[in-house]
Amino acid sequence: MIDAPGADAPHPILLYVRIALLKAGPQDLPASPRLLPATVAAYVLVSLLLGSVLLKDVDNSLLLVLIDCAFTLTCYRLLLRAVGRPERFAQTAAALFGFQAVAAPVLMSGLSLYRSYGQDSPWQVPVTLLMLALAIWTIVVNVRIIRSATEWTVSACIGVVFALALLGQLLALLLQSGGVAT
């Protein structure tokens, strides 16, 4: 169980929603040693549940989701160590996974719509614009979280977001080509 927030502190789920709405940052999360594991577990459950419901033919196996989590945790641990801010890891990682967990219903619904209607001529433009807006929103939130943790410029944080996304895609391709059993 996550440490109970104080009377004046919002619940972490509400803070994750506020992070998604750009009204809070990782520094607003409680410094609880149990928050990050609980948030990662929630992200895993939400990903598996929504993936099985909305993206039935996409492989969202537990192994792949756990590899994604391990990759993300490792990258951000190394990044924050490299910039001399390892004490910010737990709140930064919790903010990233919390955002992903609360954004997953919107993002996966958008992807499901795109896969269903993205090729139909009357729906192609609106669904593609929706996906573009969701992608931009995700980038903005991730950049804001990284900027809060590193105090780097926005352009440097954008570079980190794109570099980590590229590395993640390369890892996924390696796992697929290597025939990882799922």
pTM score: 0.86
pLDDT band at 120 (very low <50, low <70, confident <90, very high): low
pLDDT band at 101 (very low <50, low <70, confident <90, very high): very high
Side-chain-side CA neighbours of residue 56 (13 Å): 2
What pLDDT score was predicted for residue 182?
45
Q: What are the start-end ranges of the E strands in 13-167?
A: none
- DSSP string of 74-99? HHHHHHHHHTT-GGGHHHHHHHHHHH
- The dihedral through the CA atoms of 74, 75, 81, 84 has a sign that is negative
Q: Taking 70 as the threshold, does the pLDDT of residue 2 lie above it?
A: no
Q: What is the pLDDT of residues 135-173, one digit of tens each?
A: 999 999 999 999 999 999 999 999 999 999 999 999 988
- Domain locations in the chain as residue ranges: 12-177
What pLDDT score was predicted for residue 56?
67
Residues 6+ apart with CB under 8 A from 136: none
